[in-house]
């Protein structure tokens, strides 16, 4: 995969390659994506788009896999920042739980999940869920929705905010 990536980068820098040859080189690179997970493929495509649009400067010595991993870590950090801002919770507590590799069965081991839920700004959470649903929600229901959202977010190792919004409308 990395050799195909390097070949594609050389092709991009080449003035002698026509559009058809360039597309064939890109297609070759895409074929190597079969070895990647679906999530990795997503970030590989985002990275390639950034290269094509000139939004990234390549670094010597970095592999294609390094860039994919970097994009994934950045996306995960953004997701954590978003949910932390939306719910007004203590971000470091969320990061700690997510980095510990918990599952739904042991999510509250050592009381970490309860501690995280207690750090939520209840007014922010209420505002978020009421805006999402378009109606007033009782504090009890806000608490339940917050707990459910956080549990799903942690167990799934982070979800896109749009996916969270779609799932929380119910």
DSSP the chain: -HHHHHHHHHHHH-SS--HHHHHHHHHHHHHGGGGS-HHHHHHHHHHHHHHHTT-----TT--HHHHHHHHHHHHHHHHHHHHHHHHT--HHHHHHHHHTT--GGGTTGGGHHHHHHHTS-HHHHHHHHHHHHTS---HHHHHHHHHHHHHHHHHTT---HHHHHHHHT-
Task: Look at residue 22 in the predicted model and tell me its pLDDT.
Answer: 84
Pair 28, 7: CB distance under 8 Å: yes
Task: Look at residue 156 in the predicted model and tell me its pLDDT.
Answer: 84
Query: pLDDT tens per residue, the chain (170 residues)?
Result: 888 999 888 888 888 878 888 889 989 999 999 888 888 899 999 999 999 888 888 898 899 999 999 998 898 889 999 999 999 999 999 999 988 888 889 999 899 999 999 999 999 999 999 999 999 999 999 999 999 999 999 988 776 555 555 555 54
Tell me if the pTM is above 0.85.
Answer: no
The whole-angstrom separation of Cα 100 and Cα 116 is: 14
What does the domain layout of the chain look like in residue ranges? 2-71, 75-168
CA dist 121 → 9, 19, 86, 159, 160 (Å): 47, 54, 9, 20, 21
**Angle, vertex CA 71, rays to CA 67 and CA 72, nearest 5:** 120
Pair 43, 68: CB distance under 8 Å: yes
CA 137 centroid distance within chain: 28
């Amino acid at each position: 995969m990395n050799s195909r990536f390097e070949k594609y980068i050389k092709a991009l820098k080449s003035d002698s390659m026509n559009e058809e040859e360039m597309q064939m080189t890109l297609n070759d690179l895409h074929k190597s994506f079969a070895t990647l997970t679906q999530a990795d493929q997503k970030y590989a495509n985002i990275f390639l788009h950034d290269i094509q649009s000139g939004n990234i400067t390549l670094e010597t010595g970095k592999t294609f896999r390094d860039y994919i991993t970097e994009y994934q870590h950045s996306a995960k950090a953004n997701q954590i920042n978003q949910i932390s801002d939306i719910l007004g919770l203590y971000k470091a507590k969320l990061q700690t739980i997510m980095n510990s590799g918990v599952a739904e069965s042991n999510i509250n081991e050592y009381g970490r999940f309860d501690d995280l839920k207690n750090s939520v700004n209840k007014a922010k959470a209420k505002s978020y869920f009421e805006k999402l649903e378009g109606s007033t929600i009782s504090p009890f229901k806000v608490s339940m929705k917050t707990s459910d959202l956080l549990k799903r977010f942690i167990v799934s190792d982070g979800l896109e905010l749009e996916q969270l919004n779609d799932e929380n409308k119910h």
